[in-house]
Structure 1
């Protein structure tokens, strides 16, 4: 009869526990709302230069190998090696796997926890213990049992933790996309720089050949008593300066090669790229509209997901103000003699729910909630700043492309004029109408202007890559 009453009491307790569990639809904490940002209707610098297209983004367009806009098979080959060998990308992949595993850790709290164990010990009680039935005796105790416990998610504490873990995993996935974009952009920049160095080296080699011919001409005139020793020295100086500038380019080219090797995950000693003096064509990049930037930029997506994770943390901190229900059961065998352990009288069991709530904690939960809310507000500010920075990067690169296009056209006219002046000076020198100083001066100006034009071309390619990166690598 006593056992029956105990069973009924346990049944009532479990019924009460299940009734409380049924109220788990109550979800404390704020609903997530994406932080608002001001998005312009168009880019300030969106007026495209001649030959550029401003297009709406196409959902069916290829969103992967953006570097193919440069139309260079060698660049395509090198970029394909970045995902495989780049160690920064490999680290980001490991961080993503870790973030996804954290989701499983959070989800495991939805399920009961079951543990099993065995125990064997010998206890001897002091004889001087008054009123102790086992005083002065040695007692053996053998036991084995299973314990199961489950905490129903009454107020969505676990749900908030899972939501936070999911959002952080999504942020890690966006981080991976952002790092991939950065690594591919760095390789493209180094490759473009290297190609421009080769173009500049080819220019200097041609000038060295021209300066050799000019020096030979001065030498002939000097031998004939027409040119002075000073003019011969000027011709020699001009030749050696051009050779020194050509040699100097080798240092920068080697550094670009080494940087590209590291980006691909190979030792610099195992990578080399033969000179290619053919200039790359400037690509055509559809810019799109500002509103689509929020969907294309992986760093914006990562920042937004971190706001969602921080908001879930606020919900979890809010759930701490509500009680927890714990359902537990224990059963097993226990005996003082090992031979009796497997007998029926040695069994034991316990079962029952527990409702636990914190009445006083010195303001700890309120402080944790305030901290979580502050973290969410900081994440929202980071998101808005990331959006603003993204718009700035697009505008900066658009402005650079516009200005550099106009500057290149003007610089080309300067190169043409200086080339004509250098040719006229050489003709005048051959006719005996001027000295060689005029030739040196005009040729030096022509060289400086031509190298400036090559540098402008490099900056335009850098702005192209910068714009692609600022647009999220896709359009």
Structure 2
């Protein structure tokens, strides 16, 4: 008994080597700055930092929808549960670093018949015990358990970053789904209005044909516009319904019926500054998650190395035992046991070497995954910056095209009514006008989507402090 405290202190404090390789963060295989050129805006001096989605999105309807999605989306809920599960696994693994103490009590009575008893008489015996001890506690001399604990920690941290990445992606997906829905509603409204105009023109031309001032060819050409627009109305009706279904799934609940109106041509989001530094990518959660996975793989190498060395396991207990319950705490009833064990691997058929090789290969895979994640991130941000540098001017040209096509249509109608041109010229002008209006609405959506995707690519936003 007098040696037990010393042994427990030794078990708690004995620590040896740490065989985890020294971690060196891989160099980012990308340029120091994002591309510059005709597709990109002029750089803006300043320091970059993160901005949350509430500050990025300015539209009240988007705020309300994103709040609903963050509260009800099932994928995000599963991600949060995965984080909790990995946290629990980390706690389980960490518990192996300290001795596990337990109290065991037992009591029993047994009867031996006379013909089986060594005395020739029946014997009734009792056995009662109360023990406190530790069972199979491995001394972490070579750092194997600490390596596994580090692996569990890094895996848990990677799951947290994965959850954050999913949260950012969900915010972006809700915004894109809502703006797509609103755009398709406008496209449906424009096409319906144009269809009514086409039907009105068809009625006028039919009347002119009956009066002998228009040909049957003109009537058939006018009808082609009506039939084409009818088909587009049905297509946009179907698309709008599917947009609602997609948005409802992202929200995880019903879409509020009292959403405020959104002006798609207004300032729905914070403007993106030009000249962002490439190191801003380090705030992306997928890059952080990839590095945590790399650190976890690095820790596994330490555990695989430690497996080559002897392992020491301690089993100890102390307590009291007596044939009578009343004698458990009487003098002379003390019991104790101390059973150290050492395991030295001699021949394992190459298993330990293969395990170490596997751990090293997994680390190499982690390095490649980390570097690829950075490269993909750089490409996504570069594409987003190129989109934002060009969409503004493209939309201006599209607006000019709509204006010019509208004037062209009015002139074609006037010349047709005056008999200067045939109906083919007016037909072509009306088709071009509808197409130009539809392309303008689609262009606005593409610009907004590019801005949202850039927000996502930058890891959840940014801000620039001028220097």
TM class by shorter-chain length? 0.7 to 0.9
Residues 207, 242 of structure 1: 8 Å contact kept: yes
Q: Give, in whole Å, the separation in 2 of the partners of 1:135 and 1:413.
A: 116
Q: Give the equivalent residue in structure 1 for 2:131.
A: 145
1:174 partnered with 2:147: no
1:63 partnered with 2:63: no
1:109 partnered with 2:96: yes
**RMSD across aligned positions (CA):** 3.5
Residues 67, 188 of structure 1: 8 Å contact kept: no
Q: Give the equivalent residue in structure 1 for 2:197.
A: 210
Mean Cα displacement is larger for which, 378-387 or 120-129? 120-129
1:389 pairs with 361, 376, 381, which one? 376
Q: Give the equivalent residue in structure 2 for 1:30.
A: 21
Residues 48, 276 of structure 2: 8 Å contact kept: no
Residues 322, 357 of structure 1: 8 Å contact kept: yes
Q: Give the equivalent residue in structure 2 for 1:415.
A: 402
Unaligned runs of 5+ in 2: 463-467
Change (3 A) 1:277 1:232: farther
Tell me how many residue pairs correspond in the alignment: 460
Mean Cα displacement is larger for which, 216-225 or 244-253? 216-225
Deviations 1:42-66 (A, max 9, x none): 222566656x87454444x633436
TM alignment of 1:312-323, pairs within 5 A: 312-323=299-310
1:80 pairs with 57, 63, 67, which one? 67
Change (3 A) 1:111 1:241: same
Does the residue aligned with 1:313 lie in a helix, a strand or coil?
helix
Does the residue aligned with 2:15 lie in a helix, a strand or coil?
helix
CA drift at 1:211: 2.5
1:251 partnered with 2:238: yes
CA drift at 1:402: 4.0
Does the residue aligned with 1:81 lie in a helix, a strand or coil?
helix
Q: Give the equivalent residue in structure 1 for 2:353.
A: 366
Change (3 A) 1:64 1:457: closer
Change (3 A) 1:338 1:274: closer
Mean Cα displacement is larger for which, 327-336 or 98-107? 327-336
Unaligned runs of 5+ in 1: 1-5
Q: Give, in whole Å, the separation in 2 of the partners of 1:134 and 1:96.
A: 67
Q: Give, in whole Å, the separation in 2 of the partners of 1:53 and 1:40.
A: 16
Change (3 A) 1:97 1:201: same
Residues 96, 169 of structure 1: 8 Å contact kept: yes
TM alignment of 1:219-234, pairs within 5 A: 219-234=206-221
CA drift at 1:273: 6.3
Residues 323, 357 of structure 1: 8 Å contact kept: yes
Runs of 4+ displaced beyond 6 Å = 17-23, 122-129, 132-138, 270-275
Does the residue aligned with 2:295 lie in a helix, a strand or coil?
helix
Residues 109, 127 of structure 2: 8 Å contact kept: yes
CA drift at 1:91: 0.7
Does the residue aligned with 1:65 lie in a helix, a strand or coil?
helix
Change (3 A) 1:162 1:441: same
TM-score (norm 1): 0.83
Q: Give the equivalent residue in structure 2 for 1:3.
A: none
Higher relative contact order (CA 8 A, sep 6+): 2
Mean Cα displacement is larger for which, 81-90 or 280-289? 280-289
1:99 partnered with 2:99: no
Deviations 1:225-269 (A, max 9, x none): 32234423433442343243223211111111111111111157x
Does the residue aligned with 1:432 lie in a helix, a strand or coil?
coil
Q: Give, in whole Å, the separation in 1 of the partners of 2:218 and 2:120.
A: 119
Q: Give, in whole Å, the separation in 2 of the partners of 1:396 and 1:140.
A: 82
1:432 partnered with 2:423: no
1:441 partnered with 2:432: no
Residues 287, 471 of structure 1: 8 Å contact kept: no
CA drift at 1:275: 7.7
Q: Give the equivalent residue in structure 2 for 1:298.
A: 285
1:42 partnered with 2:57: no
Residues 129, 322 of structure 2: 8 Å contact kept: yes
TM alignment of 1:234-313, pairs within 5 A: 234-267=221-254, 279-281=265-267, 283=269, 284-313=271-300
Q: Give, in whole Å, the separation in 1 of the partners of 2:23 and 2:427.
A: 71
Q: Give the equivalent residue in structure 1 for 2:173.
A: 186
Deviations 1:82-106 (A, max 9, x none): 2111111111111111122222212
